[in-house]
Amino acid sequence: MTQAKSAYIGARIFDGAALRDDHALLVLSDGETRIIGPQDIPSNCATHSLDGGILLSGFVDLQVNGGGVMFNDAPTVKTLATIAAAHRGLGTAAILPTLITDTPSQTAAAIKAVTDALDQGIPGIAGLHLEGPHLSVARKGAHDGTLIRPMQDSDLRGLLDAVDHIPNLMMTVAPESVTNAQIRAMADAGIIVSLGHSDCDYGTAMAAFDAGARCATHLFNAMSQAQARAPGLVGAALDHGGAASGLIADAVHVHPAMIRAALAANQGPSEVFLVTDAMATAGSDITSFTLNGREILRSDGRLTLADGTLAGADLTMPQAIRVMVEQVKDPLEKALARATTIPAGMLSSSPSRNRADDMLWLSQDMTKTCWIAEL
């Protein structure tokens, strides 16, 4: 019979949907956890008293370009381990390392690196996000436009082969650069197809969602905007009930008022979830780095190219949650879900949840995190 090992009291506990007050988190000897009443703590169990804060499963981030280093610079298992460790230090238990638009050889290297990392059980690596190269040059953002191209049959075959080895494979595409038949083939194979870096119109986006695309990449950013007579990709993502949306909630990429409007307009049941779109700066104090040969500058919470174009985000999940709660006025429970259970639910193979190794303490002011094993 599994025995109780320890119990944590004094903090609120987020169960994935709601905050539980006046409860305890019980850790069993097999690493599983249970939420119980304080009166139910076994007498022979070590009890740890916490001074407030919130206990919850670690964050899940579906768009991570780097952490200390950039995945594009060296798509290897070593790079993946470095990035995952940097984000674990920020409270994130599972990531999709993200390769932005690059050459076919770099894309193949990224697929191999993630396949090997999964085989080796590298902690924190849940799969792979390929953001490009099948995008729109008109909405390329910081992507290298010379590497953007339409999807070919050989590209599709490579992705269908990759998903056999990488269960959580996310692919950001623009409908201008793929066909709905290609979207359908990817979706049928279990690839998470997301629309982004696109200048498509509302009807084209809705057709792509109907074909199997499941979400939009960094809502509002690098996509056709919602206008009175042209709802664009933004309008389609919010109007299509089957489309979720990743969101960079740093109050830089999207104004809090627009986030509020998006949350009110979203038709569900698919929901908005948080991503960091983190670059090499995550978990480090570096002030600049290069991406595809171009310098990215870090200043005042922004990452930009020399011409001012936003290039990823200087953001952590706790910061994003804080923006959602304090500036957007999202309920705390919902903001926590947007960083944990909602993105986890997007994955074909969900990372482990509610195990002691991945249980996190978040301070009440949402500025500090600590894994419970380190408390």
Identify the pLDDT of residue 330: 98
Taking the chain (375 residues) in consecutive chunks of 10 residues, what is each chunk's mean pLDDT?
A: 85 96 94 92 91 96 96 97 97 97 97 98 97 98 95 97 97 98 98 98 98 98 97 97 96 97 90 95 87 86 89 93 98 98 91 85 95 91
Identify the pLDDT of residue 209: 98
Identify the pLDDT of residue 242: 94
The answer to whether residue 351 is domain-embedded is no
Identify the pLDDT of residue 96: 98
Identify the pLDDT of residue 216: 98
Query: Is 39 in the same domain as 122?
Result: no
Q: Residue 190 and residue 360: Cα distance in Å, rounded?
A: 30
CATH number of the domain that residue 214 is part of: 3.20.20.140
Identify the pLDDT of residue 4: 79
Which residues have a Cβ under 8 Å from the Cβ of 34 and sit 6 or more positions away? 25, 26, 28
Identify the pLDDT of residue 350: 73
Helix (H), strand (E) at residue 275: none
Query: Is 36 in the same domain as 174?
Result: no
Identify the pLDDT of residue 375: 86
What is the domain count for the chain?
Answer: 2
Q: Residue 192 and residue 200: Cα distance in Å, rounded?
A: 19
Contact assessment for residue 277 and residue 342, using Cβ atoms and an 8 Å cutoff: no
Q: Which long-range contacts (CB under 8 A, 24 or more apart) does 262-265 make?
A: 262/219, 262/220, 262/234, 262/238, 263/328, 263/330, 265/238, 265/239
Query: Is 306 in the same domain as 162?
Result: yes
Query: Is 68 in the same domain as 20?
Result: no
Contact assessment for residue 248 and residue 221, using Cβ atoms and an 8 Å cutoff: yes
Identify the pLDDT of residue 2: 73
Query: Is 240 in the same domain as 312?
Result: yes
In whole angstroms, how far apart are CA 276 and each of 66, 171, 185, 325? 10, 17, 29, 16
Query: Is 169 in the same domain as 264?
Result: yes
Query: Is 112 in the same domain as 95?
Result: yes
119 CB-side CA count, 13 A: 9
Identify the pLDDT of residue 269: 84
Identify the pLDDT of residue 70: 94
Q: Tokens standing for 46?
A: 């070590």
- Of 102, 199, 250, 277, which residue is the catalytic one? 277
Query: Is 297 in the same domain as 273?
Result: yes
Query: Is 370 in the same domain as 258?
Result: no
CATH number of the domain that residue 17 is part of: 2.30.40.10
The answer to whether residue 170 is domain-embedded is yes
Query: Is 42 in the same domain as 102?
Result: no
The answer to whether residue 167 is domain-embedded is yes
Identify the pLDDT of residue 25: 96
Identify the pLDDT of residue 364: 94
The answer to whether residue 32 is domain-embedded is yes
Query: Is 163 in the same domain as 273?
Result: yes
Query: Is 21 in the same domain as 78?
Result: no
The range of the structural domain enclosing residue 366 comes to 4-56+356-374
Is 210 a known active-site residue?
no
